[in-house]
């Protein structure tokens, strides 16, 4: 949602990793429907629900550090710089 911690964190990830394009989602993955129809499924249904998850500051820092946009794709020195900037952001 605009203005929340997730948006600010995604903006920071994109600043450090311009090749990361997974931000801005709402938890729905429409590409899965294409995969399913391509596999021969003809009747598709989906549902979703919202689930509030509370993170401590430390847990959020570690969760994001371990993500595909940070530690899984940036060199170690960039991960450290990101981690410092993320801690400062929070």
**Could you tell me the residue ranges of all domains in the chain?**
5-89
> What are the distances in angstroms from CA 90 to CA 21, 43, 51, 81?
22, 44, 22, 14
Task: State pLDDT tens for residues 62-90.
Answer: 999 999 999 999 999 999 999 999 999 99
**Taking the mean position of all CA atoms in its chain, how far away is CA 30?**
16
Give me the mean pLDDT over the 11-37 stretch. Answer: 89
What dihedral angle (degrees, nearest 10) is formed by the CA atoms of 33, 7, 14, 77?
-120
CA distance 60 to 65: 8
pTM: 0.79
On average, the pLDDT of the chain sits at 92
């Amino acid at each position: 949602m605009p203005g929340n911690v997730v948006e600010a964190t995604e903006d920071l990830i994109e600043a450090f990793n311009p090749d990361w394009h997974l931000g801005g989602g709402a938890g729905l993955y429409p590409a899965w429907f294409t995969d399913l129809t391509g596999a021969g499924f003809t009747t598709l249904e989906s549902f979703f629900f919202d689930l509030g998850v509370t993170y401590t500051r430390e847990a959020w820092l570690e969760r994001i550090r371990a993500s595909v946009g940070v530690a899984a794709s940036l060199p170690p020195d960039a991960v450290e710089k990101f981690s410092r900037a993320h801690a400062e952001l929070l």
